[in-house]
Amino acid sequence: MKEDACLPLAEAVRTAYRRGGEDETLSPLVLTDARDRPVGRIAGGDAVIFYNIRGEREIELTRSLTERDFKEFPVEEDLKLQFATMIEYRKGLPVGVAFPSDGTVEDTLSDTIALHGLRQVKITEAEKAVHVGFFLNGKKETLLRGEEKIIVPTRKDVALFDEAPEMSSERITEAALGKIRDPGCRFIFVNLPNVDVVGHIENESAILRAVECVDDCTGRIVDAALREGLTAIVSSDHGTVEKWLYPDGKVDTGHTDSPVPLIIAGGDPRPVLRSGGELADVAPTVLNLLGLPQPPAMTGRSLIEPDPVFSPAGNGSKSAARRRVLLLLLDGWGWNGETWGNLIAKARTPRMDSLMRIWPQTTLQAAGEAVGLPAGAVGNSEAGHLHIGAGRRIYSDRVKIDRAIADGSFFRNGVFLQTIRSARDGRTALHLLGIVSFFSSHGSINHLFALLDLARREGVRNLYIHAMLGRRGEMPESGAHYIGSIEKKTAEIGLGKVVSVIGRYWSMDREDNWDRIEKTYRMLVYGEGTPCRDILNP
């Protein structure tokens, strides 16, 4: 018998690899009994804990399982689930929330600009809409006074963006050029998402095209800004493809712990930039350039060095009433001084090379504690945009949850206990649903293990795990390793089974690709997927 013969879903994932499958887009695998009946389906009256964090990619699946009037695809009429989420994915969802939000962040960059009556615009495509809106604005969902958002539709004609690495950058660029020509628009924020999005796909040639496309768009946007008298800041929210290889040469498609570049083009006189900055220093820098006061809650520091010629209160000789600033964010564009495994260095980037040669530049910390994450954690778009907008450090949900596990309060959490006890006392099943990873910004396998321990303490009898796999930040074929570690954990504590596995492409969407979510729903509720025999229960 094979060493992993007692790990049916781990072995099924390995079989899928041999047949050409990979973690991110893995089609559903479903545990079945001797009669090929699916095991552990979500049924009426069951309890569910969706333990993912971040939240923007979790809303659609949560809605399909909890909303009574859900209409996007056919669902069971009313499952009456006792449903809990680790954090608040969106206000108004009919779920319990174990770790509620600390609320909105006030006195952000956008708040301050609006307070002083200036017009501002945020431009990106739908893939990053939540970042330039919700997160950049301190977790506020409504538009501020004088604020405009231009969200270019994300292409639907491709399955993965390595088929179209340019994405919708041309339309983003055209929208940015239009606002640059509008003298009444005082602050323009533009996000070009290509490097981050395409960088998560193991396709070097596509990534090089994405980098080169962003470089070209950057040059066009900055040139136009300088012609119109704007000061242009070019930066990023985290790294990705500047460290595309692990030390052993295998591909790393995840985010990185690299710093990010920051360039300031324009200004009279040219500013002098200090070193040692972090993303929380971007907002004070923008306010400095706009000639606006920094609110006391904003504890970051302007990156512009005090200078007898350059006024810390604004852009020297230019009247505060006429100052305009462009902040161009190259999503996922990290800084790495080494060339090995560095796809940004490998790509042709004449426009960024020229900007970095001509204009003042520095680098910013964009990972770990600098963006409210655990020490050593890689950066991500959520934390990056939140800190760019907030101008101060905001501790992440992951840090709060990890601390709760460490101090034991996790195991006394009222929402968890209510959900788990409803399954125990009602003799229904408890389902744990989420990403399985040590590195994903959407969740941690340690949180799953803590929930398993809590369920065992509470005397749950029927517990089923539905796992989502993703390659981002992971070694190739790491999904099978994670599933195996979960199956070994359940064997050790004598509770639980991994009953379904699916790639996160099908379960964690934020672009209304309801066909993907339906595939996950039908796996969870009807057991649709490739059957995998439960050899422990023949």
Query: Which CA distances in Å does 282 have to 31, 110, 342, 383, 517?
Result: 49, 12, 25, 13, 37
DSSP secondary structure letters along 349-373 = -HHHHHHHHHS-EEEEE-SGGGGTS
Please, what's the b/e burial string for 13-50 (b: 16 or more CB within 10 A of its CB; e: otherwise)?
A: bbebeeeebbbbbbebbbbbeeeeebbbbbeeebbbbb
DSSP codes, 296-321: TT-----SBPP-SSS-TTS-TTS-GG
Report the chain's mean pLDDT, rounded to a whole number: 93
pLDDT tens profile 426-435 = 999 999 999 9
* Domain boundaries of the chain, sorted by first residue: 8-100+399-533, 109-393
Architecture of domain 8-100+399-533: 3-Layer(aba) Sandwich (3.40)
What does the pLDDT average to over 116-145? 95
Confidence (pTM): 0.76
Encoding tokens for residue 122?
A: 């945020």
Reply yes or no on whether the pLDDT at 271 is more than 50. yes
pLDDT at 310: 43
Q: Own/partner pairs for 407-415, CB < 8 Å, 24+ apart? A: 410/450, 410/454, 411/450, 411/453, 411/454, 411/457, 413/98, 413/99, 415/84, 415/96, 415/97, 415/98
Residue 4: pLDDT band by 50, 70, 90 thresholds? very low
- 3-state secondary structure (DSSP) of residue 412: helix
pLDDT digits 0-9 by tens, 297-329: 999 999 999 844 444 444 444 566 689 999 999
174-192: string of b/e by CB count within 10 Å (b at 16+)? Answer: ebbbebbeeeebbbbbbbb
Strands (E), 340-451: 361-365, 430-435
- pLDDT at res. 30: 97
Average pLDDT over residues 350-360: 97
pLDDT number for residue 439: 74
Distances (CA, A) of 242 to 172, 190, 199, 387, 465: 24, 21, 10, 21, 35
pLDDT tens for each residue of 48-95: 999 999 888 999 999 999 999 999 999 998 899 999 999 999 989 999
* Residue 149 one-letter amino acid: K
Quick one: pLDDT at residue 55? 85
Q: What's the burial of 529, exposed, middle or buried (CB within 10 Å: 0-12/13-18/19+)?
A: buried
Do the Cβ atoms of 9 and 532 come closer than 8 Å? Answer: yes
Does residue 314 or residue 273 have the better pLDDT?
A: 273
256-270, 349-363, 470-484: least confident range: 470-484
For 492, residues 6+ apart whose C-beta sits below 8 A from its C-beta are none
The answer to whether residues 42 and 521 touch, using CB atoms and an 8 Å cutoff, is no
Q: How far apart are CA 229 and CA 266, in angstroms?
A: 8
Residue 536 pLDDT class (50, 70, 90 cuts)? low
Is 367:238 a contact under the CB 8 Å cutoff?
A: yes
Classified by CATH at the fold level, domain 109-393 comes out as Alkaline Phosphatase, subunit A (3.40.720)
- Which residue, chain included where needed, has tokens 């930066």? 235
Q: Which two tokens stand for residue 183?
A: 């003298």
C-beta neighbour count of 155 within 10 angstroms: 17
Per-residue confidence band for 441, with pLDDT thresholds at 50, 70 and 90: confident
Reported confidence tier of residue 281, pLDDT bands at 50, 70, 90: very high
Q: Are 124 and 510 in contact, with CB atoms under 8 Å apart?
A: no
Q: Residue 251: which residues within 8 A CB-CB, separation 6 or more?
A: 202, 244, 245, 476
Spatial distance between the Cα atoms of 392 and 300, rounded to a whole number of angstroms: 5
Above pLDDT 90, what percent of the chain?
A: 83
Owner of token pair 């493809």:
241
> Please, which pLDDT band fits residue 473 given cuts at 50, 70 and 90?
low
Say what percent of the chain tops pLDDT 70: 95
